[in-house]
């Protein structure tokens, strides 16, 4: 639990940059899963800062985003492709062909692609107010594949602020829980009072599809990074 999201972001960015460097030393690709939304923005700022300072180099990194809206133009700044370019990819030295997203044409191909390279090394997660991770909405089983999903009414309510023209897609392509839970290290971040209830519940309830983030309880190497607000309902 950190004093602020910015302080936690410094620690997480350092952890990621150290892991990238260790992989570089032994000539291995580092496979990093990435979230969009408000939560990871402080982390992306820190990673850009480390890159600008010469502390980290992304040439041996491949990234795998968690999700993308269905039927959205990648030029739309609210697409997750657009979000990632604006908040990270355009500011670091990652070749765009090393950045991967699930595709609506064949969503489960994403699982096969990731499994064929030995899974992800580290994956950044936020949490939805309904307990979703990526867009695995309540009802998603722990072995769920990457797939097209109807967004929950609560997710649409939370995210429609980003679509002032009222054109928010109601479906998305999400990485499934199986690929997420097969990742070596998971880092879940949550900031602010509005996430306090779902964080406390996700850690105390019996793991079930009703609250997909609760499946992280069974993962052998998951780290939660919180601030005082999001940690305020932990007993």
Note whether 196 binds ligand F6R by CB under 6 A: no
Note whether 151 binds ligand F6R by CB under 6 A: no
Distance, in Å, from the CA atom of 153 to the CA atom of 38, rounded to the nearest integer, reads 19
Shortest-Cβ-distance residue relative to ligand F6R = 126
Q: Any residues with CB less than 8 A from the CB of 220 and at least 6 apart, and which?
A: none
Catalytic member of 78, 132, 136, 159:
132
Catalytic member of 137, 152, 158, 227:
137
* Collapsed DSSP state (helix, strand, coil) of residue 125: strand
| Residues in 117-136 that interact with ligand F6R by CB under 6 A | 126-128, 132-134
CB of 153 to ligand F6R, least distance (A): 14
Greatest alpha-carbon span in the chain: 49
Is residue 132 among the annotated active site residues?
yes
Nearer to ligand F6R, 55 or 141 (CB): 141
Is residue 130 among the annotated active site residues?
yes
- On whether the CB atoms of residues 231 and 151 are closer than 8 A, the answer is no
Mark out the alpha helices in 88-184 (DSSP H runs). Answer: 109-116, 153-159, 177-181
CB of 69 to ligand F6R, least distance (A): 10
Nearer to ligand F6R, 55 or 182 (CB): 182
| Residues in 3-22 that interact with ligand F6R by CB under 6 A | none
Note whether 36 binds ligand F6R by CB under 6 A: yes
Distance, in Å, from the CA atom of 152 to the CA atom of 149, rounded to the nearest integer, reads 9
For the chain, strand residue ranges (E) read 30-34, 61-65, 67-69, 99-100, 122-125, 147-150, 171-174, 185-190, 222-226
List interacting residues with ligand F6R (CB under 6 A): 35-39, 66-67, 126-128, 132-134
Q: Give catalytic residue positions.
A: 67, 130, 132, 137
């Amino acid at each position: 639990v950190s004093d602020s999201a910015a302080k936690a972001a410094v620690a997480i960015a350092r952890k990621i940059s150290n892991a990238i460097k260790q992989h570089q030393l032994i000539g291995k690709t580092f496979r990093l899963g990435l979230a969009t939304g408000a939560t990871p923005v402080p982390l992306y700022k820190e990673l850009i800062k480390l890159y600008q300072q010469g502390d980290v180099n992304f040439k041996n990194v491949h990234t795998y985003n968690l999700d993308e809206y269905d039927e959205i133009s990648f030029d739309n700044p609210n697409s997750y492709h657009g979000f990632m370019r604006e908040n990270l990819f355009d500011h670091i030295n990652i070749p765009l062909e090393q950045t991967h997203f699930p595709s609506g044409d064949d969503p489960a191909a994403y699982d096969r692609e990731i499994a064929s390279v030995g899974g992800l090394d580290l994956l950044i997660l936020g949490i939805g107010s309904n307990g979703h991770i990526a867009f695995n909405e309540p009802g998603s089983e722990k072995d769920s594949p990457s797939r097209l999903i109807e967004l929950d009414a609560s997710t649409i309510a939370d995210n429609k602020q980003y679509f002032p023209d009222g054109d928010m897609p109601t479906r998305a392509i999400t990485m499934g829980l199986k690929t997420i839970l097969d990742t070596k290290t998971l880092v879940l971040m949550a900031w602010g009072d509005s996430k306090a209830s779902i964080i406390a519940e996700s850690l105390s309830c019996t793991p079930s599809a009703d609250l997909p983030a609760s499946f992280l309880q069974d993962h052998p190497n998951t780290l939660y990074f919180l601030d005082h607000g999001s940690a305020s309902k932990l007993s």
